[in-house]
Chain A
């Protein structure tokens, strides 16, 4: 199965239109600038500025801001979702592209900060490495459990009103950093972080993806949802 750039491009366009991406982007930059400004002035007073890992902080805000996209892969009305049932051979490509596009957005949002930060603050290679490790340990829970929310009955039934899935998303946002806290902060092992990422991606692709597809078809062909 080949995922072409055009698939990701289409999904980026759809995500942008449905998820108020401009608003999310503005919020991300506003929160990031606010946090950096407040934290830097506070830490400068206590001469602890070098202790702050700014790249990690930016990645944490970025992942938190864009997490909802993994839990709402199919926004829009029920008939729009049903359109995918007519082209089921492409459903897997659509799911992968949607997750790919969401991941890309999570990576692109903090990029300008990550480039500019070394010019203003002391940042080491280790800071960037930790930010990267946070990203690869936090994205898998969003991918697995976020998609689980997305393919649940409530997730697929939700249109503009997301209140049904909000509590689950909140719980996920609290729990998602756990692997990083255990593997990196606790065990201090980058290898474990990488192994965790690869294992999760494999579980998602080979085990969960076919199940999500099946669930999507089952729920959308239920007569009571028609």
Chain B
């Protein structure tokens, strides 16, 4: 059974703008899958469809083998989300918010307290644990969102730009722990603009452009191809592959500013 499957997934806004245009994608269990793409490629729309915040226009979405229909929500008990716009309650402290989130997931109070304390220490939020979230920096707010996504021990983690604004020490810890979680059977779908992180962290990468999946490969295969060359070009990193996939020959003349 795969963790996430899309079949001919389509999302059309206002009857004409195709944000997602017939994507077929399978993400096996216990993998970290990275989605990359330029701004407006459709990455966040895919994540919002999975979160039930946007309804798909056509196609199929399966989570842990079950097809997701409009209005379904039971599958979300097994999924943790960090969305582009985090969904914390601003006028609560991180301790209060994690308690609230734990209650929403129907976790026992003793267990909530234990997990809250561990998450706060792990994400280095101890210093401001009693301050309202609205006073936190962007990175700290992302951490709060990540903590809430982890508190119910999800089988799938869906993360939209989760490391944006987070300090390097925490980034390292989060990456290491995501790997540990994957070894225990968790699946991670991560969308990011940070190609370096994606390359190092993910088992598989998909490039999305104009709502279509234009490239998909295992990172170990990408590493083998790098330096050997694909299509007679020499690649040094995922960034080179990404740029070459996204920018077509007509656009290549637009990569310089004439007056600089």
Most chain B CB neighbours (cut-off 10 Å) among A7, A83, A89: A83
Instruction: Compute how far the CA of A17 lies from the CA of B91 in the bound complex, rounded to whole angstroms.
Output: 6
A14 with B89: CB separation less than 8 A = yes
Given A6-B109, A7-B103, A90-B104, A14-B92 contact (CB < 8 Å): yes
Residue of B nearest to A80 (CB): B89
* B55 interface contact, C-beta 8 A: yes
Q: What 0/1 pattern do residues 48 to 90 of A give for CB contact below 8 A with B?
A: 0000000000000000000000000000111110110111111
* Contact of A121 with B by CB under 8 A: no
Say which size band chain A's interface belongs to: 20 to 34
Contacts of B76 in A (CB 8 A): 86-89
1/0 contact trace for B89-111 toward A, CB 8 Å?
A: 11110001001110111100100
A interface, over-half SS: helix
Contact of B77 with A by CB under 8 A = yes
Indicate if A217 sits at the interface (CB-CB under 8 A): yes
- Is A162 in contact with chain B by the CB < 8 A criterion? no
- Judge if A135 is at the interface, Cβ distance under 8 Å: no
- B109-123 interface mask toward A, CB cutoff 8 Å, 1 = contact, 0 = none? 100000000000000
Given A87-B105, A89-B74, A220-B53, verify A14-B91 contact (CB < 8 Å). Answer: yes
Residue of B nearest to A224 (CB): B14
Distance between Cα atoms of A87 and B90 in the complex (Å):
18
Which one, B53, B73, B103, B109, contacts A226 given CB within 8 A? B53
CB within 8 Å of A: which B76-91 residues: 76-77, 81, 83, 85-91
In the complex, how many angstroms separate the beta carbon of B50 from the nearest chain A beta carbon?
10
Q: Do B92 and A13 have beta carbons less than 8 Å apart?
A: yes
CB-CB < 8 A to B73: which residues of A?
88-89
Residues on A with C-beta less than 8 A from B51 are: 85-86
Shortest beta-carbon distance from A131 to chain B in Å: 33
Q: Which residues of B contact A4 (CB under 8 A)?
A: 103
**With A86-B51, A86-B81, A223-B54 as given contacts, are A6 and B90 in contact (CB-CB < 8 Å)?**
no
Can you sample 22 A-B contacts with CB below 8 Å? A4-B103, A6-B103, A10-B99, A10-B100, A14-B91, A14-B92, A76-B90, A79-B83, A79-B86, A82-B53, A83-B89, A85-B52, A86-B51, A86-B87, A87-B101, A88-B73, A90-B106, A221-B53, A221-B55, A223-B13, A223-B14, A223-B54
Chain B interface residues toward A at CB < 8 A:
13-14, 48, 51-55, 71, 73-74, 76-77, 81, 83, 85-92, 96, 99-101, 103-106, 109, 132
